[in-house]
Structure 1
Amino acid sequence: MPRRTRGFKPKGMDLTTFHFCYFLLVVTAGSSHGLEIISAGSTTVEKASGESVKLDCQFSLAPEDSGSLDIEWSLQPSDTQDEEKVVILYSGDRAYENYYAPLKDRVHFFSSDPKNGDASINLLSLKSADTGTYQCKVKKVPGIRSRKVVLRVMVAPSKPRCYAEGPTQVGKDVVLRCESSEGTNPIAYAWERITGSKLLPASAVLDPVSGSINIRNASEGSSGTYRCMAKNRVGMQECVMDLGITPPPNTAGIIAAAVICVLLALIIIAIILFCCCRARNRKKYEKEISYEIREDVPPPKSRVSTARSFTSVGSQRSSLGSMSPSNLHEYSKPQYDKIPSDEFERPPSHAPLPPPGKPAGPNLSRMGAIPVMIPAQNRDGSIV
């Protein structure tokens, strides 16, 4: 059995002659089959956001394809009930590149003259919204051929945020989390410690999908600097955090201090209330006393002469000297609430004589009576 070879090359033929013969064979095959799409590249392309991509679509024509050449690139809808959206056109020897608003100024034909057999296009500054299935359709009567290319625009992970969840105390379960707000899934997360032994604690459990690491029954040896890396097919970002495991606080001391603070606050409030009530009662008492003084003072009488006041005092004294013990009780207390009568205003010559049979002043003293001084009045009627 003859040995098989990977390629055919006639003996005595150089490489240039072989390529020319191969080209004639392709043209002859195309002429027998009419218009054909000859691109052999991948039908699935993955690119990162912000990059550029070439969607390949090369074709060959046959002599019987005599109609006008039309090239159309369209974006296929994800729902079969929706209509496809034309992205770029070539018709009548003219290119229409700004046909699709979301790709305006970002889509161009790769060749300056697509009718020469290259209908490929370039997409610039890719965005995640550019993801989709693109179809290249070449028409030249009577032939028509098409080719689909799936474009997937991937977004690299954004810088993740590292933080600890829960109390970072000895004996507690500490959870370290790492999250990227942007990025095309799947995103894989990985944790490592970059200080000390550079090994994760033995009780640590890593979840590469959610980006969390659970350190069970944490100890002070779990403290250190940790780094998280978020990675997908088009990029990688990382974040660093410091973890410090501290001893648990003195709970009993905290409770005792809180109780003492509450008691002190209650005592202060009670003192303030007591002072307020006392001040209020004192003010009320002073107000009542002022009202009583105003009620006891008699209204002033019309002014009288000083001479008449002294005459009245003398009359009162002479009258007192002629009093007997039987009527002494009427003058035993100061009579502040009585207005002096007209008898006290009479001159000394008209003073009434003591009634007969009544003991005189010296006799009253002998009988044990106590002399009482009658208060005098000034000109406006006030007692002095």
Structure 2
Amino acid sequence: MISRRHLLGGSAALGACVALPALAQSQPLRIGMLTVKSGALAAGGRQMEDGFRLFLKERGERIAGRAVEFVVADTGGQPALAKTRAQELVQRSNVHVVVGPTAAFEALAINDYLQEAAVPFLCCSAAAEDLTQRRLNPWFVRTSSTSAQPCHPLGEYTARDLGYKKVITIADDFAFGQEQTAGFQRTFEAAGGTVIRKLWAPLNVADYGSYISQIGDTDAVFAAFAGANGLRFLRQYAEYGLKQKIPVVGAMTTVDEGVLHSMGDEAVGIVSAGWYSAALTGEANQRFVSELRKQTGVDPGFYSAGAYSAGLALEAALTSIGGKAEDKEALIAALRKVEVGNDPRGPWRLDNYGNPVQNIYIRKTERSDGRLVNTVVKTYENVSQFWTYKPESFLAAPVYSRNEPTKL
């Protein structure tokens, strides 16, 4: 016999089950962002936050019908602190998704934890190769690129279109700089060029003089720097009188718009490659650039665009599942199927490994309307993280590093 108490209890439980989805929808969508607010990478960290906040502002602080609670955590650019901040976002703030971080070494430091915690990890900047290659995390999706993805076309372009035969490389001595250099070297040498020397500078170095003094007898220099390091290197390179003698080709962030506004003639004429340029003429980009310029006074670049893209991807995924972020499995499954057509950088889709297949633009830094811009001179369409190689053969080789693909 069922007592009235049990009957009422059962009815209440049934009502609670019915009400759960509605209750979840009435709760805020909690998004945590890991970024850097101090040190060499701080400029990029601030721009990441600017890009995502613009996305939220345009949507009235709501995504897929849900109000957004946006929590920003400063990692200080330190792997150990990045992990602590990730744990705080998950365990204390109970975020539905983590966006960020800024640097590759930070992403590597928190990847295992977020996988174990089964939290969707929407990476909008950190470009560590293996996170979408040999160390796959089913909870990880990237909206920027791998480190080497833009450098593969640049290496080929440098040899075939620019005709350079010998190149010396210089880069930040951490995963991002190492992987960018390796990707450039692989395709530059495959196209007939030779990397004759590799120079590595600590991330927080202030004076590049000892490295610049080792540059000579080369057709060009490939430079791969993040944050404000590109500004410091190019300025000192010009001061040492090398700009007019040996041209520089750069990785995307070396002349990123986030620091380009602080540069002068030292940046003019530099050829670089990236998945974004503020000079792109599409309507979505013109609107994006205009709004961020009003907000920050400068053009957006790598970090702002990647974070804005993360917002677009999250919006598309949540809309497809009715905003139910509490269903983490459904959310990450939807994120991994995302195709974005209204991105300022142009359309992109994710490959089977969670990394964008997208246009890569060869850019030349020029003056226009009183400011420096990265004018697009050539477009490589639908570029994969594996370039023209089959994924199986690409992944059978060691991950790009200081000493791979060759030991110079």
TM-score between the two structures when normalised by the length of structure 1: 0.19
For CA contacts below 8 A with separation 6 or more, give which structure has more relative contact order: 2
Larger radius of gyration: 1
Structure number with higher helix proportion: 2
